[in-house]
Structure 1
Amino acid sequence: MGRELERLAAGVSRARGREDGHRQREAVLERDIALAKARIAVKGDVEAFIEAVQAEASRRNVAAFETLLTALVQEVLPGEKPVVLDLTTERGLAALDIGLARPDGSREDVLEDNGGALTNVVGMALRLIAVVKAGVGRFLALDEADCWIAPDRVPAFYRVLEDGAARLGVQCLAISHHDLSAFEGRFRVARVAGLVADGVTIAGPAEAAAWSDDMPGLRSIRLVDVQAFADATLPLGPGVNALIGPNNRGKSTIIRALRAVFYGEGRDALVRAGAGACTVELGLARGRILRFNRTPKRTPVNLWSLHEVDGSVVEEDGTRFETGGRAVPDWVERLCGIVKVEGLDVHVAHQKFPVFLLGEPASKRSAVLSIGQESAYLREMLAIHRERTARDQTLVRLGERELGEIRDALARLGDLAGIEMSLAEERDALANLHAGARRVVDLEGAHARLTTAVRRLAAARGRSEALLELPGPEALAGISERLAKANARSALVDRLIAASRRSAGASARAAALAELPDDLPPLRDAGAADRSARELARLRKALDAARGRAGEAERRIAAIKGAIEGLIEAGGGLCPACGAPVDAAALLGDHTHPQEAA
């Protein structure tokens, strides 16, 4: 019964656990369903808010970029038409069109409907914006970006570049065939000197660049056996740096070297004629050097390595910064942040392709400049909100169904308190039964002990009565005395019997000796006879001694027999040892006591 009650109690505990789980789930569902219904109720308001924010973000961003580009263009090309941007959507992606606003309200394309000067200015501005908005390394190298600008407008172009670089924190390297001497007091200007046939060099400003250890950027570019350069170094400073010189003197070699390092565009033609390999070294923060080697007909043909001030290869966290192959190592991209953005060479412009982004699809323009990305984020937020609303509707539908099932289950479990009370009562009754059973067992034990005590008392009374029938102390003293005498007689009889048996053996030996002849027969061998005679004499002497002992034994036996006969007569003809009738001859002969027979 106890096991059955425990089984029922365990079942009730499990049911109580299910009830608790149902109640917890009920609370969670009630809260989640209430929140879901509240979100569904404001679904329209949220969508309207997101759409309003999306429209405002697009308008604000487009207006800001229009203002910036227009200001840059009109700074370099006064009187030029304002730049207008049109942000639309293509296949769900933000698409950016760049044009110029005509006085009549129509638009014209920057690339197709205008001259190269405008393209140069807009392309330079777009590169600056892309470098900043892409979130990569803030470095920009421009190769003849002023090629289509009239000489009298070149200073304005570089004033815009200088101001934009300073405001945006971008380090620039401008390659130009124009004379930029007027800017030598405002940014660093270096010149290509010498002839290609003899090997060109770079003549730079004498003052040191204003660098601090924690500032990002390239400190210098060194070319060793790179095309026209045998060994030349271009120092760089923060802000704008310029390398100028006549055409076809190797200025663009600097750009080719940078594209080899950062874009993996290394070619055997980079190696100076007659040299076995070429090297490009870029000075970085903390005195480190990023080195690129191109060795034709070798494996690896390209080798990138990072070196400490002492020339050793950098090793950090178990990684050795030295990698060969054709693809630019990931650590170079992480170290300098100069990578292609959306497949475009944002940082290092190619001389043969000065137009940047204007010829790309509208969706790529938006992606590279991150213009319209806010709208994309807001559209994603709207899509997420709608998806969440759909989930909320499903939650309400399924949750209310589950909530009904839970409440039905709780209703079925509603009498658990009564069942637990009944079980408690049954447990109390069972405990009382167990207590009664223990009392019964205790009473049975007491009865058994009482019965044993009665039995022992009866036995004690029997022994007491037997003791009362025993003789008194005087009688017991007489009995003890007779018993001691009987024990003494018994011991004497035992000794007499043993002596009689030894006497019988001696008599038998004496009889055997008496039958021997008195004289010995004559012997042929006198020596043997003498020995035999001596032996016989010895034997006779021993025989005489034995006969004397035998006589003595017979006398002793006779005395013992007389003593035994007197003992038997005193005992009334009974054996003093066993009490059986006996005479002296039998006692000395074959008489056997009953205990010996047993």
Structure 2
Amino acid sequence: MSILAPFERDISWLKTEYAQINARQSILLEEKSRVVGDMLAAEEYLEDKAETLHVLQAIQEEWEYEEKREVEDLLSQLVRDILPHRADCKVVLQRGTYRDHTTLDVCIDNEGHPENVWEQRGGSINSILSLGLQFITLVKSGNRPFVLFDEADKAIKEELIPAFAKVVAELSRTLGVQVLYVSHLDAGIFEGLADIISFDEVDNKVVARHLKRHSVEKDEWISSGVSSIRYKNMRRLQDVTLELGPFMTVLTGTNDVGKSSALKAFRALARNGGTMGLISHGADSMRVEATIDDGSVLAYEYFRGKNKAKVKATYTMTDASGTDIEEPHNGKESLPPWMDDYLAMPLVAGVDINFCSQNHPAQMLDNKCCSPTQRAKLLSIGSEAAKVVDMIGQHRANVTAHTKAQNETKRSLSRVKNELNIVRPVCDLDPAEFDPVLKKLEQDYDFVTQLNAVGSEMVKLQEMITLLETLPEDSIELQKVDVANISSISALNDLADEMGQTTGMLQIYSQVECEDPLSLTKPRDNAEFVSIGRQMVSSLSLIQALESLPEGRVELREVVHSEGVDALAKSLSEATKAIRGTSGRLAAMEQQQSQIKVNIASLLEEVGDVCPFCKGSMNGEKHAH
């Protein structure tokens, strides 16, 4: 590798880096512009977030007004129908906000002052209003219109239960909702209002007896209803089937025959909520089958399984002929992916609106089962207000996203500014100043390259001279070679003269240029110069001996061919011309002549004022060499 290669790489690297840094600055400036735009957009959105939410809630309230009034009127009428002494009762739905979320509380107007029903009232009125809210939300939700009540009349005074049952039956028929209603009361209360099924114990087994069937026309049947439910090995129900009516079906019977268990088992089917307690004693599993719509059967089986890792539940979906219409599903807790396509009874806003347990008969008002925020969502479902609710939800999501974007853009902007501060000193350089620096470096590099080439030629010449010095005089024999071909030997003599001059010029140039940081030629000491001079004298003697040979045939053994000598002389002549071309630069260095003269005087002292070429005196006179 050339000693100049690092300098060449440095110049190329400098050009490349300068271009890349300028390109990087352009990219950073574009990124800065984009980041600033994103940050301003985020700040603008966040600045108006409170006002935006207020406007959306105002629109929601306006759109809900009519529907809200209808719900209030319906609930008020339910209270008056069941509690005749509360003919002046007026139900009020009170809106509010909690942590930017809309809330809804059910109140009773007390002379202009709303009283929260759940907190300030109790008993019958809570059960009535919760019942009405559950019917309303179920109709709005789009879920399967099928609701299961387990002793919804638990908190109702006994004398009010017939009126309560009548309201349930009317809501079922009016709103088109199928009802399975468990009651511990006498079945006669529901006669004429619903289909009645009684769980009776026969021979230590529980059987289902259909006491009354409410006659309806075929076109009155609810197309999306559940026509039957079959239980196998479910507690005391070894193999029991309930044939449900299209509207309200009441399940009665004595205590501890499995009425509430029947509803719990169906809920287990809907939620994959099986437990070991639902499995009959001695059985390995319990099974619930629901026949829906056009005769399709959804079956759920829960296994006892001692190993907790073992699959405990399976789902199948078959048509009326028993052929699978969906891939069977095994899962300890998960529901089949196709479940909602058939049963269509999912949770809505986190609330189980298709079930009402005996432990929470007023679950729609109980804040533990249905919070004010959830109530607000439930009563907006299916209305124009629901669209605004979605917009409010999207607004909150946007606020979160813009807050995150704002933080990220601040970090990005800080990073971009730091990078710009790093590259700015280079990018701020004036090209009118930087380009001449690069051009000067390239020129100096080219000049040093030429000097390096001359130095290489000098080394080759020195090697040839050394070879000629080693030839013995008796190695020359006459051959059939024309003496004219040795004419190049004269050229070699001239070459020796030029070499002497070239060596002197290089000696002077090396001393003059020694302070140039780009110079690769270091000044030689006087001893080295004297050695070269003595070698030149020896070489000159050999050349003169060759010239004194008589004309004739000369054979040179192991001597360089004349063509090579001619080429060498030509190369040296060209190198000498290149060096002489630097005379313009040498002229500019006249201030260093005094130092040069000191060096020449020292040289003369070393050689004793005798020319190393011709042995002539150089004492104070101009000398040809």
TM-score (norm 1): 0.54
Q: 1:410 aligns with which of 407, 410, 427?
A: 427
1:335 alignment partner in structure 2: 339
1:200 alignment partner in structure 2: 207
Residues 570-589 of structure 1 correspond to what in structure 2 (within 5 A)? none
Q: How much has 1:416 moved relative to structure 2?
A: 5.4
- Counterpart amino acid of 2:126? T
In 2 relative to 1, CA 31–305 (structure 1 residues): closer, same or farther, beyond 3 Å?
A: closer
Q: 1:258 aligns with which of 255, 266, 273?
A: 266
In 2 relative to 1, CA 242–86 (structure 1 residues): closer, same or farther, beyond 3 Å?
A: same
Residues 246-395 of structure 1 correspond to what in structure 2 (within 5 A)? 251-261=259-269, 262=271, 264=273, 266=275, 268=277, 271=280, 278-283=286-291, 287-293=296-302, 303-307=312-316, 309=318, 321-322=329-330, 329-331=333-335, 335=339, 346-360=353-367, 364-367=371-374, 370=377, 378=395, 381-382=398-399, 385=402, 388=405
Q: How much has 1:329 moved relative to structure 2?
A: 1.6
Q: Measure, in 1, the Cα distance between the counterparts of 2:174 and 2:49.
A: 42
1:16 alignment partner in structure 2: 19
Q: Measure, in 2, the Cα distance between the counterparts of 1:83 and 1:49.
A: 30
User: Is the aligned partner of 1:458 residue 2:482?
Assistant: yes
1:151 alignment partner in structure 2: 162
Aligned partners of 1:133 and 1:369 also within 8 Å: no
- Counterpart amino acid of 1:140? V
2:197 alignment partner in structure 1: 191
Find the residue that maps to 1:360 and give its secondary structure. Answer: coil
Q: Measure, in 2, the Cα distance between the counterparts of 1:362 and 1:118.
A: 18
User: Is the aligned partner of 1:5 residue 2:8?
Assistant: yes
Q: How much has 1:305 moved relative to structure 2?
A: 1.9
Q: How much has 1:40 moved relative to structure 2?
A: 4.4
2:611 alignment partner in structure 1: none
Aligned partners of 1:40 and 1:392 also within 8 Å: no
2:383 alignment partner in structure 1: none
Aligned partners of 2:363 and 2:370 also within 8 Å: no
In 2 relative to 1, CA 244–226 (structure 1 residues): closer, same or farther, beyond 3 Å?
A: same
175-184 or 66-75, larger mean C-alpha shift: 175-184
- Counterpart amino acid of 2:482? A
2:229 alignment partner in structure 1: 221
Q: Measure, in 1, the Cα distance between the counterparts of 2:103 and 2:370.
A: 4
Aligned partners of 1:191 and 1:244 also within 8 Å: yes
Q: How much has 1:199 moved relative to structure 2?
A: 3.4
Q: How much has 1:24 moved relative to structure 2?
A: 0.7
User: Is the aligned partner of 1:231 residue 2:242?
Assistant: no
Q: Measure, in 1, the Cα distance between the counterparts of 2:345 and 2:267.
A: 10
Residues 543-558 of structure 1 correspond to what in structure 2 (within 5 A)? none
Aligned partners of 2:96 and 2:102 also within 8 Å: yes
The alignment of Structure 1 onto Structure 2 pairs a total of residues equal to 435
In 2 relative to 1, CA 352–245 (structure 1 residues): closer, same or farther, beyond 3 Å?
A: same
Residues 92-171 of structure 1 correspond to what in structure 2 (within 5 A)? 95-102=103-110, 104-111=111-118, 116-128=123-135, 140-145=147-152, 148=156, 150-152=161-163, 154-164=165-175
In 2 relative to 1, CA 157–135 (structure 1 residues): closer, same or farther, beyond 3 Å?
A: closer
Q: How much has 1:10 moved relative to structure 2?
A: 2.3
Q: How much has 1:392 moved relative to structure 2?
A: 5.8
Q: How much has 1:13 moved relative to structure 2?
A: 0.8
1:498 alignment partner in structure 2: none
- Counterpart amino acid of 2:339? L
1:189-214: CA deviation from partner (whole Å, max 9, x where unpaired): 4633755556322547999999xxxx
- Give the percent of matched residue pairs that are identical in Structure 1 and Structure 2: 18
Aligned partners of 1:142 and 1:348 also within 8 Å: yes
Q: Measure, in 1, the Cα distance between the counterparts of 2:234 and 2:366.
A: 32
Find the residue that maps to 2:7 and give its secondary structure. Answer: helix
Q: How much has 1:22 moved relative to structure 2?
A: 1.6
- Counterpart amino acid of 1:330? S
Aligned partners of 2:226 and 2:291 also within 8 Å: yes
In 2 relative to 1, CA 126–172 (structure 1 residues): closer, same or farther, beyond 3 Å?
A: same
- Counterpart amino acid of 1:411? D
Aligned partners of 2:301 and 2:315 also within 8 Å: no
Find the residue that maps to 2:300 and give its secondary structure. Answer: strand
Larger radius of gyration: 1
Find the residue that maps to 2:8 and give its secondary structure. Answer: helix
Q: How much has 1:313 moved relative to structure 2?
A: 9.5
In 2 relative to 1, CA 281–43 (structure 1 residues): closer, same or farther, beyond 3 Å?
A: closer
In 2 relative to 1, CA 281–80 (structure 1 residues): closer, same or farther, beyond 3 Å?
A: farther
Q: Measure, in 1, the Cα distance between the counterparts of 2:214 and 2:448.
A: 107
Find the residue that maps to 2:106 and give its secondary structure. Answer: strand
Q: How much has 1:17 moved relative to structure 2?
A: 1.4
2:91 alignment partner in structure 1: 83
Aligned partners of 2:90 and 2:109 also within 8 Å: yes
Q: How much has 1:424 moved relative to structure 2?
A: 7.3
Q: How much has 1:136 moved relative to structure 2?
A: 7.8
393-402 or 79-88, larger mean C-alpha shift: 393-402
Q: How much has 1:356 moved relative to structure 2?
A: 0.9
In 2 relative to 1, CA 343–308 (structure 1 residues): closer, same or farther, beyond 3 Å?
A: closer
Q: How much has 1:21 moved relative to structure 2?
A: 1.2
Find the residue that maps to 1:330 and give its secondary structure. Answer: coil
In 2 relative to 1, CA 47–342 (structure 1 residues): closer, same or farther, beyond 3 Å?
A: closer
- Counterpart amino acid of 1:159? E
1:267-316: CA deviation from partner (whole Å, max 9, x where unpaired): 647638x9786533334689454233465x96679942223648799995
2:54 alignment partner in structure 1: 51
1:12-38: CA deviation from partner (whole Å, max 9, x where unpaired): 212311221121111211332245346
- CA RMSD in angstroms comes to 5.7
Q: How much has 1:108 moved relative to structure 2?
A: 2.5
Residues 67-82 of structure 1 correspond to what in structure 2 (within 5 A)? 67-74=70-77, 77=80, 79=87, 81-82=89-90
Aligned partners of 1:173 and 1:243 also within 8 Å: yes
- Counterpart amino acid of 1:307? T
1:202-227: CA deviation from partner (whole Å, max 9, x where unpaired): 547999999xxxx9875631023445
Q: How much has 1:411 moved relative to structure 2?
A: 0.6
Q: 1:30 aligns with which of 19, 29, 33?
A: 33
Find the residue that maps to 1:99 and give its secondary structure. Answer: strand
Q: Measure, in 1, the Cα distance between the counterparts of 2:253 and 2:227.
A: 24
Q: Measure, in 2, the Cα distance between the counterparts of 1:165 and 1:422.
A: 96
Aligned partners of 2:143 and 2:346 also within 8 Å: yes
In 2 relative to 1, CA 18–209 (structure 1 residues): closer, same or farther, beyond 3 Å?
A: farther
Aligned partners of 1:75 and 1:156 also within 8 Å: yes
